């Protein structure tokens, strides 16, 4: 009897093993695995795939050996572990990671190779922590400099954002970690982000806001995408049929899984029919609020299963969603080629530092006050560092991108390593620790005392390095709220101005994800903007200030002289932040530099601007057509005295057409290698002809106007070194 039972069990096991071969066979074609697995699942098992089972996981099918999906916030590093079903930290001792620079900093490098290195390195940390989906990167357009979340994105230009996000995604997904590109789409402000309805022309939608997402889908084959909280055409973007099924899945042919933002799902029938595949965070506000509901109560849980059971929604809808989730599982958690990864490796710190160094932008360098000499040849011997950001960890705060780091190298520590006892420090101001939606009261007496101490210390200095800017407090660079002013906070403008009166040798260093007003600019000798530099913040900044690294970063956004110069401001509250939960993008396609260049508005610093410690000369550009591409060539020569890199940018001026066109549109760029003094490099920049197109709203298609196109080759949008024309028939 016992032998018969064992034999029967072995035969059953063998039959089950043979039966399960296809979907468990990693060498089988992906679609065969998906189809096979789907055929073995019950309706309830399919439903379970479609919604969360914890704060950051969605279910697999344990009965069939199909693994769950583990997600976590990015895109600058792996968020610390949380408890299974709360927003409380799990208090692990082994979840400290490398904080990589913000994506605005990455965009400022204009370096596609560094972007791929970023994706590779950060995904190795996700893989090591057992994560399958990295919630990022983000490519929402920086329409307003007040956007609290702009530091997570890649600037104001869709071409630059698209070109930089593609290698990031490729680098990450090659390791078996899915990117979850966000926030799809029009999540361009944090004010009223859960409910605002965005009114935008079809042309601006296609040319500006959808374009970087489209590149990520068509060129990088991104595995997952996160829907946004806001509405478009009166429907939430997390289950917007026209957006998700119509454009993303059918028109673009995308085969991945659409994940809701946490708390972004609001309706069962819309979620069922509107293109959502995985519902996360329902009944929370995405940050801190808890829910009394269970995960099976989600819109795509029991309510959706009931619709299927009653025949109100066809089984084909459920199967299509489940197939997309299975496809994601087989690409990630059940991908045998997924890397083991590593955490806090020196290689990762090296990538972090390199991105920071190349993303730092030198904006002013009067009388070549920078670079500072090494200590043994130091020109200044009493260096006063002022500013809270010299010591503050800028990896903390900001919302879901907050990180728990193994080490944070601060600017003050790094400068002390360079200049030892020559360095003294005075905070000058303080900001409190107002995280998420909490607002700290600032003690005016304490603020005045810190300012007075800094001004007194300045009297005995021969150089001041002010290190301030924005931080990740509420209503600064922080999720769930926008900045309230274009000025620097905490009295920094007044402090900088008064310091400059005492000591003319003053260098201002700012951190932050957004442009800001600079009423003191004419009074300071040097200005450096750093974005957020991550774990290697101090080393990256010190290497640039001391000339170990020649700065090569260039702005991915326009710095306006005053807030009123941004294009949407002239249209009042309807254009931003909206009236009665309706916001109208009345500037249409003229976002950022497109407005400044077309309307001849002089910015404080133009898009693409950045100085170097050396100088470059451009040769006369040439252009030829080759098949479906235009090849632009130019030679760059280092005419200065130190080695450095230059970024060559190509802006298109289109012939007259049936619709208004921007005076200039970025259509190509390339970064040189490190050029020694006197060395030259010839760059070949390939521009697909379809990049010259505009979106025709009448015919609902892209069109290229026949005629002569001018390609402006230069160092930034306003500094054109040469022009070349091409005829397109």
Residues making up the chain, counted from first to last: 729
Residue with tokens 């003053």: 506
Residue with tokens 């300012």: 451
| Cα(473)–Cα(14) distance, integer angstroms | 59
Sheet containing strand 231-232, strands side by side: 235-236, 231-232, 197-199, 582-584
647 — alpha (psi -120 to 50), left (phi > 0) or beta?
A: beta
Q: Which helix (H) or strand (E) holds 126?
A: helix 112-128
**CB 90 within 8 Å of CB 522:** no
Q: Torsions phi, psi of 244, nearest 5?
A: -85, -50
**DSSP letter (8 states) at residue 559:** B
DSSP assignment string, 173-239:
HTTT-EEEEEEETT---STTTTTPEEE--HHHIIIIISHHHHHHHHHH--SEEEEPSSEETTEEGGG
Distance, C-alpha 361 to centroid of its chain = 17
> What distances in angstroms separate CA 242 from CA 215, 258, 486, one per listed residue?
19, 14, 36
The residues carrying an active-site annotation are 261
Q: Torsions phi, psi of 455, nearest 5?
A: -65, -35
| Cα(648)–Cα(510) distance, integer angstroms | 25
Question: 3-state class of 629 per DSSP?
Answer: strand
Q: Torsions phi, psi of 482, nearest 5?
A: -95, 160
**CB 71 within 8 Å of CB 133:** yes
Q: Which helix (H) or strand (E) holds 719?
A: strand 719-728
- Please classify residue 502 by burial: count the beta carbons closer than 10 Å to its beta carbon, then call 0-12 exposed, 13-18 middle and 19+ buried: middle
Sheet containing strand 719-728, strands side by side: 665-671, 647-653, 707-716, 719-728
| Cα(73)–Cα(226) distance, integer angstroms | 12
**CB 567 within 8 Å of CB 590:** yes
Q: Which helix (H) or strand (E) holds 306?
A: helix 302-309
CA dihedral in degrees (652, 654, 659, 661; nearest 10)? 30
């Amino acid at each position: 009897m016992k032998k018969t039972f064992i034999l029967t069990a072995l035969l059953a096991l063998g039959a089950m093993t043979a039966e399960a071969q296809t979907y468990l066979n990693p060498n089988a074609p992906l679609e065969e695995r998906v189809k096979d697995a789907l055929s073995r699942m019950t309706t309830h098992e399919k439903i379970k795939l479609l919604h969360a089972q914890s704060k950051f996981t969605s279910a697999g099918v344990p009965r069939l050996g199909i693994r769950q999906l583990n997600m976590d916030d990015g895109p600058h590093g792996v968020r610390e572990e949380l408890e299974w079903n709360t927003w409380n930290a799990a208090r692990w001792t082994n979840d400290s990671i490398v904080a990589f620079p913000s994506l605005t900093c990455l965009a400022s490098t204009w370096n596609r190779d560094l972007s791929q290195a970023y994706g590779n390195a950060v995904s190795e940390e996700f893989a090591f922590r057992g994560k399958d989906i990295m919630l990022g990167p983000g490519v929402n357009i920086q329409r307003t400099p007040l956007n609290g979340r702009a530091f997570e994105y890649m600037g104001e230009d869709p071409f630059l954002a698209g070109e930089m996000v593609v290698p990031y995604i490729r680098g990450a997904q090659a390791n078996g970690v899915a990117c979850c590109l966000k926030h799809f789409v029009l999540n361009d402000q944090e004010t009223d982000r859960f409910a605002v309805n965005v009114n935008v022309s079809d042309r601006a939608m296609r040319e500006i806001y959808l374009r970087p997402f489209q590149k990520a889908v068509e060129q990088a084959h991104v595995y997952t995408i996160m829907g946004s909280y806001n509405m478009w055409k009166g429907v939430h973007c997390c289950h917007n049929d026209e957006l998700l099924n119509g454009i993303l899945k059918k028109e673009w042919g995308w085969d991945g899984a659409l994940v809701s933002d946490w708390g972004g799902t609001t309706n069962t029938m819309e979620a069922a029919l509107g293109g959502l595949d995985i519902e996360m965070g329902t009944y929370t506000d995405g940050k801190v609020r808890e829910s009394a509901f269970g995960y099976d109560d989600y819109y795509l849980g029991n309510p959706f299963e009931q619709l299927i059971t009653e025949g109100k929604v066809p089984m084909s809808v459920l199967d299509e969603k489940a197939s997309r989730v299975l496809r994601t599982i087989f690409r990630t958690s059940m991908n045998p080629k997924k890397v083991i990864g590593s955490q806090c490796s020196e290689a990762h710190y090296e990538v972090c530092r390199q991105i920071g160094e190349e993303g730092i932008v030198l904006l002013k360098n009067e009388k070549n006050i920078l670079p500072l000499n090494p200590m043994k040849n130091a020109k200044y011997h009493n260096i006063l560092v002022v500013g809270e950001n010299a010591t503050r960890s800028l990896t903390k705060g900001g919302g879901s991108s907050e990180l728990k780091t193994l080490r944070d190298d601060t600017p003050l520590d790094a400068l002390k390593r360079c200049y030892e006892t020559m360095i003294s420090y005075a905070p000058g101001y303080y900001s409190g620790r107002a995280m998420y939606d909490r607002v700290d009261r600032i003690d005016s007496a304490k603020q005045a005392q810190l300012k007075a101490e800094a001004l007194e210390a300045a009297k005995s200095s021969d150089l001041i390095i002010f290190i301030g800017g924005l931080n990740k407090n509420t209503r600064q660079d922080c999720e769930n709220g926008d900045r309230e002013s274009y000025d620097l906070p905490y009295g920094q403008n007044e402090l900088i101005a008064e310091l400059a009166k005492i000591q003319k040798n003053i260098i201002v260093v700012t951190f932050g994800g957004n442009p800001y007003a600079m009423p003191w600019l004419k009074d300071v000798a040097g200005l450096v903007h750093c974005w957020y530099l991550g774990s290697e913040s101090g080393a990256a900044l010190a290497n640039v200030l001391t000339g170990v690294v020649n700065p090569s970063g260039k702005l991915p956004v326009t710095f306006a002289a005053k807030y009123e110069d941004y294009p949407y401001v002239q249209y009042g509250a309807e254009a931003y932040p909206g009236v009665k939960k309706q916001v109208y993008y009345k500037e249409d396609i003229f976002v950022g530099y497109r407005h400044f260049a077309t309307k001849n508005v002089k910015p404080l610093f133009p898009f693409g601007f950045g100085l170097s410690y050396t100088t470059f000369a451009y040769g006369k550009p040439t252009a030829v057509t080759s098949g479906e591409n235009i090849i632009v060539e130019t030679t760059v020569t280092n005419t200065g005295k130190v080695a450095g890199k230059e970024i060559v940018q190509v802006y298109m001026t289109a012939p007259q057409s049936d619709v208004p066109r921007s005076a200039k549109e970025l259509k190509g760029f390339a970064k040189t290698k490190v050029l020694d003094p006197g060395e030259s490099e010839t760059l070949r920049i390939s521009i697909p002809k379809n990049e010259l197109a505009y979106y025709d709203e009448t015919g609902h298609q892209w069109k290229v106007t026949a005629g002569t196109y001018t390609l402006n080759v230069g160092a930034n949008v306003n500094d054109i070194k040469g022009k070349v024309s091409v005829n397109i028939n």
